[in-house]
Structure 1
Amino acid sequence: MEEEKRTEAAADAAEEAPQLQPPTDGIAVDAASEAAENAAPTESVRESVTTEETTSLQEKDPSVTAWDFGGKTASETKTVRPLHFFAVFGVAFAICMVLLICAVLWGDGKFEIIRNVLQERIIYVRQDDGSSGLLTPNEAADAAKKYAVSISVTTAKGNGIGSGFVYSADGYIITNYHVIEDAEAVQVILPDGKAQDATVRGYNEAADVAVLKIAATDLVPATLGSSAELLVGDAVVAIGTPAKLDYAGTATFGTVSATRRLLALANESGSVTKKMTVIQTDTQVNPGNSGGPLVDMYGRVVGVVVMKITDFSGTAFEGIGFALPIDGVKVIVDEIIASGSFNGRNPIAEGRSLLGVTGHGGIKGLWYANEADANGSMASSETQQPGYHYMAANGVYVMGINGGNAMGKIVVGDIVLAVDGLRVSTTPELIAAVNRHYAGETVTLTVLRAGQETDVEILLYEEALS
């Protein structure tokens, strides 16, 4: 029995021996045997390794080579990161986004919220299928030079120069009336430099249009456009003969500044004599350009150069030129060619617009004579005089009613203070304000009557052209 106990104790000791500090040679033996086992695992051992075990090994050692089921090494080594890394990254990203949103909503205003604002715009569009003949500025000028001419005139005071253009192949030439006014002889210098004597077929002084005739049958006539189709900003070129014949065919370029500018033209004394509806352009024009063509970028005549503003009240101006609209010119020219004169409703010029009253300008606080003196002036006094009336305000004192729509609306003694809100204090200012409107339009006059301001509407009528 005792022998059996000793035998069991020895067996127990043998089983517990690997847990104790073994001798060195025992370690070598065990390590060698373990290496031999690992070096040559059986096929059944290889196949018994589960996917879960492989993943566990890779998590412990990122350098473990991944294998596919065929037993071949994968084309690249994959490193598997712990899932908690992505969780931490996601939380950090979410926190940053929350802080950014808070900064936008409750920040110091460095972030701007941009809103789309709808605005209405008018866009002018011309249809162009590519076959309309739109030219470059150089091409438009070259086209115009084929029908632009120079006009040489002889008067009792000397010689003058102007411009014009060929209207028809059989010798009709268009220019301004003021170019050939009082001319004793007229010559047309053609684009090839040849001069031909011309006769005046007819003219319309009010519209400043004249028609000449030369003996020719093979001229290149101008192509006419339509002034009604012009838009502000359209490119144009003026062809003319500024200063002298040496500069014939001069081309200057610019744009349309206004398509229907109403001009009130005055005589030497400053009184308005007529109104004209013209094209305004910033194209440079000079003395000698009068009567020449204003051409669009299709090589078509859209206007006839007529005048420019160089000085107003002592102030010099540049880039304010005017041309007669070709639509109106054509109406006048065709009738002159047919009959020698124009007697219809003038499409360019009209008489003054009238209120139907007479009066004088005055200064508040002064007394004025009831009638003008022999020179047409109104005597004034600082004190009351017999036959004088008092000016209770700066304006135009109404002295008489001539007729028209003012009858029954304006009375003698009214002082006109403003036209459509624009203050006036002299007769020329009143006439100019009224003539910014066409006859047939209604204006609102502000008048002082019996110490009270009141507004009255007056329908303007036209003075007949002389």
Structure 2
Amino acid sequence: MDNNNGYDNIKDVSWENVESDKAKIKFINSKRRSNMIRLGKVFCFILVAAISGGVSGAYMSSKKEATKIYTPNNQVVVESHESTGKTNSQNTSQNSITEVAEAVSPAVVGISNKAEDYFGVQDLGSGSGIIIDSNGYIVTNYHVIQGADKVMVKLSSGKILDASVAGVDEKSDLAVIKVNAKNLPIVKLGDSSKVKVGDIAIAIGNSLGGEFPGSVTAGIISALNRKIEYNGVIYKVIQTDAAMNPGNSGGPLCNIQGDVIGINSLKLGTDSNIEGMSFAITINEAKNIIKSLMSNGKVSRPDLGIGGESVISQDNKIQGIYVQQVEKNSGASAAGIKPTDILIELDGKKVKSISDVEIILEGYKVGEKIQSKIWRDGKVIETEITLSEIK
């Protein structure tokens, strides 16, 4: 009995100790595992939050940059980005317009047209000019210096110089004048054939004469290759909504890179209801004219040597230019063309007006020959005309 009781007592004690130890071990292991799970959850939450925040931040940052908007002169321009997040090379921000103004303005001058009469020297008008050669050559509009006895130039520095007329071309409304100066700042002539509708356009000039020198206005290119008739001459011009006023004539129209793409020449109408329509002679059309004026003092253009007006027969079968006069010693005179003839075709193209003839002759030079057809006494006569120079 004693042995059994002793055994039972020992067994009971051992079992209780084992159970107690097991309980203690279980309690300790459960607590450690719970702590590790909590730490793991916290770490995962922080990791997920960090990744999500980084991705969201990068997305919002790129989205914000891709929709950055500038509004120079109320023109809304959206800055575009590549997939790398880099800004497109064409920067059309307000800062770019400022840079153009700073680069080009030193080469823009004010021009005063003066005439002498019984009462002394009188101001006939004023305009702007562009320094195109560091030795003092300046291009402007012909109408800016038309009729001048004396031409004065005011540099951006404020210095005033006398100018001489190097050459004029009334037809294109361009003129080149020269001042006695060296190392002057010059502009860069661009390529107007690359201009597109919607491009930024910046006009610089002396708005309203000397009262507002160096005025800068900005807008967009509204249209290309507009044909404007002015004083009987057809001009091919760039249309822009950049504000221009008397005094801007002869100044530069620039692109956002600061290249001159046109020479401001005409503003449509005197009607106060017309807004946002200004014009500039394309620089590509002006380049050869400027070169000729600098070297020869004039521009050599081909001409038929006739004067006339548009006519059309009652049955609409005959349409062309009724020849009213033929210049002596002209190509038309040598070809046998007479007054009352009707010019109906030139260079294989039908002609209805003098402007049609001018457009065709743009592709020819003085001395070249051109085929023509005239209608005379009910017959069509073909003849070849040697182009003479416009007098």
**TM-score with structure 1 length normalisation?**
0.48
Question: 1:250: which partner in 2?
Answer: 215
Residue 303 of structure 1 aligns with which residue? Answer: 262
User: Are the equivalent residues in 1 in contact too, given 2:112–2:123 (CA < 8 A)?
Assistant: no
Contact 1:206 1:465 in 2 (8 A): no
Alignment of 1:334-345 (within 5 A): 334-344=291-301
1:241-320 equivalences under 5 Å are: 241-258=206-223, 260-267=224-231, 273-311=232-270, 316-320=273-277
Q: Which runs of 5+ in 1 are unaligned?
A: 1-35, 47-64, 79-122, 268-272, 347-353, 361-399, 411-429, 441-463
8 Å Cα contact 2:166-2:178 kept in structure 1: yes
Query: Any idea what SS the aligned residue of 1:179 has?
Result: helix
Of 133, 143, 152 in structure 2, the residue corresponding to residue 178 of structure 1 is 143
The answer to whether the 8 A contact 2:237-2:280 is kept is: yes
1:129-140 to structure 2, matched below 5 A, reads 136-140=96-100
**Structure 2: stretches of 5+ with no match in the other structure:** 1-9, 35-79, 315-340, 362-388
Q: Which has the higher strand share?
A: 2
Q: Is the 8 A contact 1:357 1:403 kept in 2?
A: no
User: Matched residues in 2 for 1:72 and 1:337: separation?
Assistant: 102
| Residue 404 (str. 1) matches residue 345 (str. 2) | yes
Q: Is the 8 A contact 1:204 1:342 kept in 2?
A: yes
**2:286 corresponds to:** 329
- 1:194–1:38 distance in 2 versus 1, CA, 3 Å: same
Q: For residue 96 of structure 2, what is the amino acid of its counterpart?
A: T
Q: CA RMSD in A?
A: 4.8
Residue 391 (structure 1) aligns with: none
- What is the one-letter code of the residue matched to 1:403? I
C-alpha displacement at 1:199, in angstroms? 1.4
Aligned to 1:230: 195
- What TM-score comes out, normalization by structure 2 length? 0.56
Distance 1:38 1:232, change over 3 A: farther
Q: Distance in 2 between matches of 1:153 and 1:232?
A: 34
CA distance in 2 between partners of 1:77 and 1:213 (Å): 94
Q: Does the 8 A contact of 2:302 with 2:390 survive in 1?
A: no
Aligned-residue identity in percent: 30
Deviation digits for residues 286-321 of structure 1 (CA, Å, limit 9, x no counterpart): 01110011122333222110011135xx67211111
Q: Distance in 1 between matches of 2:90 and 2:219?
A: 24
CA distance in 1, matches of 2:285, 2:24: 94
* 1:68-105 superposed Cα distances (whole Å, 9 cap, x missing partner): 6xx95422799xxxxxxxxxxxxxxxxxxxxxxxxxxx
Q: State the AA in 1 paired with 2:280.
A: A
| 1:186 to partner: Cα distance | 1.1
Larger helix percent:
2
The structural deviation recorded for 1:236 is 2.6
Which of these residues, 138, 143, 153, is aligned with residue 113 of structure 2? Answer: 153
Matched-pair contact (CA < 8 Å) for 2:226–2:238: no
Q: Give the counterpart of 1:199 among 153, 164, 186.
A: 164
SS in 2 for 1:136: helix
Separation (CA, whole Å) in 1 of partners of 2:227 and 2:103: 31
Q: How does 1:82-97 map to 2 (within 5 A)?
A: none
Is 1:220 matched up with 2:185?
yes
Is residue 38 of structure 2 the alignment partner of residue 74 of structure 1?
no
Separation (CA, whole Å) in 2 of partners of 1:44 and 1:237: 95
